[in-house]
Structure 1
Amino acid sequence: KHPRAQQLGPCRDLEQAGPQHPSIHPACPSSALLCPLPQILNRYDIALIQEVRDSHLTAVGKLLDRLNQDDPNTYHFVVSEPLGRNNYKERYLFVFRPDQVSLLDSYQYNDGCEPCGNDTFSREPAIVKFSSPFTQVKEFAIVPLHAAPSDALAEIDSLYDVYLDVQQKWDMEDIMLMGDFNAGCSYVTSSQWPSIRLRRNPAFWWLIPDIADTTVKSTHCAYDRIVVAGTLLQEAVVPDSAVPFDFQAAYGLNDQTAEAISDHYPVEVTLM
């Protein structure tokens, strides 16, 4: 079975179900247990969930209970500290199948002094390193980012510095950067792409194209991206496997239910 990496946008209401691949954000009618979120996550061996606003990890615990209802070791998780420049905080949450991948290490990127006003990211990446005996690339890192829409251009460009930091810290080349970069429509325009180091450097493969639509609503924007660097990781990517997953069509959901789960489609990729 090939590990697959996925990014999922906000699941609004998961936090309300607990007294968040995201507070987890409030979203399904009356109970997050009604959400198809566990069904979506079960597709993946590694999943990144963003916009988790669950200060006590109560909703995260309930989500893991659902994912592990048949076997307590189906999924494990690693979660960042609450991140943000003000009272609004989010976490990065990774859930993963321990029979497919092993968590080797993790660290919080230091992007400067928030109280001093010289930090780079609204929510600085919390980087994780995995290994798998089932893929051509045996070890790889994942760098998550939920970019602030108003600062998307600068934050995406600064991912290059994060990449260099991971390279130096772990002495590795095989690095995947993924998340809601807000990398499209009015937040990053076609004329701005050449100024982004992560984009103009051919060492980075952008697997989700600019013409993709990763939004559930009527907008057509490629906000969510997967970028891979490193020869072994790039060679492990199954051709044409990197796509948005339209869970609304897959599960026959109406607009209201789909938007309650997330206003973004997950983007996914398969490694061989």
Structure 2
Amino acid sequence: IVSEYDIILVQEVRDTDLSAVQKLMDQLNSVSPHPYSFLVSKPLGQSTYKEQYLFIYRLDMVSVLESYYYDNSGAVFSREPFIAKVSSPYTQVEEFVLVPLHANPNNAVAEIDALYDVYTDVISQWATSDVLFLGDFNAACSYVPSSAWSAIRLRALEACEWLIPDSADTTVTLTNCAYDRIVACGSALTSAVEPSSATVNNFQEIFQLQYKDALAVSDHFPVEVTLKAR
């Protein structure tokens, strides 16, 4: 699954010594004809339970230029975004920013709304509005009911396109919820999205896995999007 992508965000990583990450990278690089590297955050969380954001990317396709942690002094986020600016010589939009979020399901509405503040922060930090928000926002079902969307500023922003629809099912389990999202913001980035390319990677169907075997991979399906080549 990982080798299908030029860059992929992995969430719920709990690997402070990076032994599991290194094992994954070794396996990936042993089977892929293309070299992969990674960028990982420090353990993030408001309690003793912490998670890391992990970006894995193809070295021949993507370069990581800069990264920073969003200032979470207001403790809005359970795990503050670890923000990365990347570039690729092969996409129409040469540089763009990745903002990952794994929202606390019990605070999902407030965290998703606060991504608006992250967006304005990225614009002031790096003078770019081309930002891709991605991750498990828990943005559906009981965590974000349809009545809550009107209070979420990023949803109403004309500069942004929500590429994974509310009707999607990103869960391997029997629930039908669009928890995982990709949101493209900024004129250069939104115009560089390949039309109809945003989708859910249902690896259970693709590999014809039994339910228990699919769950052993993940309880969420990856969501994906393709950017236009230049």
TM-score when scaled to structure 1?
A: 0.82
Q: What's 1:119 paired with?
A: 75
Q: Deviations over 1:183-224 (max 9, x none)?
A: 000000111101100001221100000000000011000000
The answer to whether residue 129 in structure 2 is matched with residue 159 in structure 1 is no
Match of 1:190 among 120, 125, 146: 146
Equivalences for 1:185-264 in 2 at 5 Å?
Answer: 185-264=141-220
Structure 1 regions of 5+ residues with no counterpart? 1-39, 113-117
Matches within 5 A, 1:134-145: 134-145=90-101
Aligned twin of 1:57: 18
Q: Deviations over 1:109-158 (max 9, x none)?
A: 1110xxxxx41100000000110111110000000000000000000000
Aligned residue identity for 1:101: V
Which secondary structure does the structure 2 equivalent of 1:111 belong to?
coil
**Aligned partner letter, 2:124:** Q
CA contact (8 A) 2:3 2:32 kept: no
Tell me what 1:36 maps to.
none
CA distance in structure 2 between the aligned counterparts of 1:45 and 1:246, rounded to whole angstroms: 18
- Cα drift, residue 70 of structure 1: 4.7
Alignment map for 1:64-103 (pairs within 5 Å): 64-70=25-31, 74-103=35-64
Q: What CA distance in whole angstroms lies between the structure 2 residues aligned with 1:215 and 1:234?
A: 26
Structural RMSD (CA): 1.1
* 1:270 matched to 2:226: yes
Contact 2:198 2:225 survives alignment (8 Å)? yes
Given that residues 40 and 53 in structure 2 are in contact (C-alpha distance below 8 angstroms), is that contact kept between their aligned partners in structure 1? yes
CA contact (8 A) 2:160 2:190 kept: no
CA contact (8 A) 2:11 2:52 kept: yes
| Cα separation, partners in 2 of 1:106 and 1:72, compared to 1, 3 Å | farther
SS at match of 2:197: coil
Q: Is the 8 A contact 2:62 2:86 kept in 1?
A: yes
- Structure 1 stretches of 4+ moved >2 Å: 70-73
> Given the alignment of the two structures, is residue 106 of structure 1 paired with residue 67 of structure 2, yes or no?
yes
Q: Which residue of 2 aligns with 1:180?
A: 136
1:27 is matched with which residue? Answer: none
Counterpart in the other structure of 2:126:
170
CA distance in 2, matches of 1:257, 1:99: 32
1:260 shift after superposition: 1.1
**Could you tell me the percent identity over the aligned residues?**
57
Please report the TM-score for the alignment, with normalisation by the length of structure 2. 0.97
Letter in 2 for 1:66: Q
Alignment CA distance shift 1:222-1:111 (3 Å): same
One-letter identity of the residue aligned with 1:102? S
What SS is found at the alignment partner of 1:135? coil
Task: Give distance in 1, aligned partners of 2:5 and 2:31.
Answer: 16
CA offset at residue 72 of structure 1? Answer: 9.1
Q: CA deviation at 1:254?
A: 0.7
Q: Which has the higher contact order (CA 8 A, sep 6+)?
A: 1
Per-residue CA deviation, residues 67-121 of structure 1 (Å, 9 max, x unaligned), is 1115796100000000011111100000000100111011111110xxxxx4110
